[in-house]
């Protein structure tokens, strides 16, 4: 049975093809990638028939807030990529609104499908001199017509279709398993109260991975995130998100990964994150909006569970901030400080991090000779990416 289907970059695939796909017998389809296709909000109206979906990517599709009302009714949805769509505050609200009892009864929960084969990990973000790795720079899937895709899906005896571009999220969901289904449900007392009132908590607590890169969501719209209590990874990479939006993130106690790459986060926002008592499980953080200073690094150093940290493109971050990070983040394995004001002096502090295996310090005031000395003394598996800033001349 088809479990994984990727139509990434199939630019000729649109609403008509999706309608045929949904009508096909695909009871075990768990992962569907529609990124960079011609699918629109209208075409998603029948998507709720794919009730086994746990992963869905709509990256760069012309879908808006109305689409989220359909996505809200997918009972097992754990991973949702809405990057570069037209989804805004209204869409995020639709993803969290309670379902009525009648709507919940309309959901036909399937038996749990067998686990799909684990794809190779191609999602490690390589941080180069330019800052971040574009996950779309992989070999594109040749464009297919709607009839081609539908014909492949209709053959229910075919083997699983592996995705050339794997989803950036895992399919692990949280919550209590409903007997006879593969779906996670909330077991909180508030959920019981909602059900008694004719409302069902449902899918909001099944979402564990949400990607909102360059959407229309604003700081205030993020207030609905507090209802997605099972979120483990959240991507808010956008130049419109600021310190004000972070107060809606700090209560997500299950969060292990937070991407604020282009967000306009200052030292005040770093204080909001560092002082939260609910982010003690945060392992990965990216904050590269250019406003952080050494004081911001002091605040972030309180997130002591961090193993991967990217503070590139913050030109006012220097050696004092790195010293604070190295003194507290003893489990750090990956660190990127590209385009900052650090010098060779900070390498002594970084060299003391026994678990550090990847260090990127391109376009900084660190000299080649200092990097060579660090490599000679550090763990043999440590990878150091380095190029001096153009304005830096070694004395």
Beta-carbon neighbour count of residue 115 at 10 Å? 10
CATH code of the domain covering residue 329: 3.80.10.10
- The encoded tokens of residue 284 equal 């990965």
pLDDT at residue 236 tops 70: yes
Does any domain span residue 355?
Answer: yes
pLDDT at residue 7 tops 50: yes
- Rounded CA separation 362/343 (Å): 11
Q: For residues 371 and 344, state if they share a domain.
A: yes
Does any domain span residue 81?
Answer: yes
pLDDT at 388: 83
Q: Please classify residue 160 by burial: count the beta carbons closer than 10 Å to its beta carbon, then call 0-12 exposed, 13-18 middle and 19+ buried.
A: middle
Beta-carbon neighbour count of residue 102 at 10 Å? 8
**pLDDT class of 98 with cuts at 50, 70, 90:** confident
Question: Cβ neighbours of residue 111 under 8 Å, at least 6 residues apart?
Answer: 180, 181, 182
- Mean of all residue pLDDT scores within the chain: 80
pLDDT at residue 260 tops 50: yes
At which of 226, 254, 288 does a domain end?
226
* pLDDT, mean of residues 287-301: 98
**pLDDT class of 100 with cuts at 50, 70, 90:** low
Q: For residues 93 and 166, state if they share a domain.
A: yes
Does any domain span residue 231?
Answer: no
CATH code of the domain covering residue 5: 3.80.10
pTM of the model: 0.77
Q: For residues 335 and 360, state if they share a domain.
A: yes
* pLDDT, mean of residues 328-349: 98
* Chain centroid, CA 348 distance in Å: 33
Q: For residues 324 and 177, state if they share a domain.
A: no
Q: For residues 31 and 101, state if they share a domain.
A: yes
pLDDT at residue 143 tops 90: no
What's the structural domain count of the chain?
2
Question: Cβ neighbours of residue 172 under 8 Å, at least 6 residues apart?
Answer: 78, 208, 232
Q: For residues 158 and 307, state if they share a domain.
A: no
* pLDDT, mean of residues 7-21: 97
Strand partners, 383: 358
User: Which residue segment(s) compose the domain that 339 sits in?
Assistant: 236-395
- Rounded CA separation 342/321 (Å): 9
* pLDDT, mean of residues 142-153: 43
The CA-based angle 91-95-98, given to 5 degrees, is 130
Question: Cβ neighbours of residue 272 under 8 Å, at least 6 residues apart?
Answer: 243, 246, 247, 250
| Percentage helix, strand, coil for the chain under 3-state DSSP, each rounded to 5 | 30, 15, 55
Does any domain span residue 326?
Answer: yes
pLDDT at residue 35 tops 50: yes
- The encoded tokens of residue 307 equal 């193993």
| Among 120, 169, 162, residue whose Cα is nearest residue 141 | 162
**pLDDT tens-digit readout, 308-327:** 999 999 999 999 999 999 99
pLDDT at 206: 86
Q: For residues 266 and 195, state if they share a domain.
A: no
- The encoded tokens of residue 23 equal 């009508």
Q: For residues 345 and 221, state if they share a domain.
A: no
At which of 226, 260, 281 does a domain end?
226
């Amino acid at each position: 049975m088809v479990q994984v289907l990727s139509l990434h970059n199939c630019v000729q695939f649109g609403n008509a093809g999706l309608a045929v796909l949904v009508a096909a017998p695909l009871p075990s389809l768990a992962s569907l990638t529609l990124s960079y296709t011609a699918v629109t909000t209208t075409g998603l109206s029948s998507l709720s028939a794919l009730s086994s979906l746990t992963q869905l990517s709509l990256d760069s599709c012309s879908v808006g807030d109305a689409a989220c009302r359909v996505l809200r009714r997918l009972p097992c949805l754990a991973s949702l990529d809405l990057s570069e769509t037209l989804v805004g505050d209204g869409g995020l609200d639709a993803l969290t609104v309670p379902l009525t009892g009648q709507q919940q009864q309309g959901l036909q929960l399937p038996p749990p499908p067998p686990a799909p084969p684990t794809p190779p990990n191609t999602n490690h973000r390589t941080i180069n001199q330019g800052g971040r790795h574009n996950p779309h720079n992989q070999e594109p899937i040749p464009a297919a017509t709607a009839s081609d895709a539908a014909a492949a899906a209709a053959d229910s005896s075919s083997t699983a279709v592996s995705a050339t571009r794997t989803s950036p999220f895992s399919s692990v969901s949280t919550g209590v398993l409903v007997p006879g289904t593969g779906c996670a449900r909330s077991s909180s007392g508030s959920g019981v109260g909602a059900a008694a009132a004719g409302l069902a908590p449902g899918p909001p607590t099944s979402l564990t991975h949400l990607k909102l890169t360059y959407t229309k969501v604003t700081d205030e719209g993020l207030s609905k995130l507090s209802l997605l209590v099972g979120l483990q990874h959240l991507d808010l990479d956008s130049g419109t998100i600021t310190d004000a939006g972070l107060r809606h993130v700090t209560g997500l106690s299950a969060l292990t990964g937070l991407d604020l790459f282009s967000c306009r986060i200052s030292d005040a926002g770093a204080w909001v994150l560092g002082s939260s008592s609910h982010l003690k499980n945060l392992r990965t953080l990216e904050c590269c909006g250019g406003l952080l200073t050494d004081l911001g690094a002091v605040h972030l150093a309180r997130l002591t569970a961090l193993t991967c940290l990217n503070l590139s493109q913050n030109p006012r971050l220097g050696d004092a901030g790195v010293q604070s990070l190295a003194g507290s983040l003893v489990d750090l394995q990956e660190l990127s400080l590209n385009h900052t004001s650090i010098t060779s002096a900070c390498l002594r502090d970084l060299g003391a991090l026994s678990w550090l295996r990847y260090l990127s310090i391109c376009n900084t005031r660190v000299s080649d000779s200092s990097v060579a000395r660090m490599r000679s003394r550090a763990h043999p598996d440590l990878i150091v990416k380095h190029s001096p800033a153009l304005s830096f001349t070694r004395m």
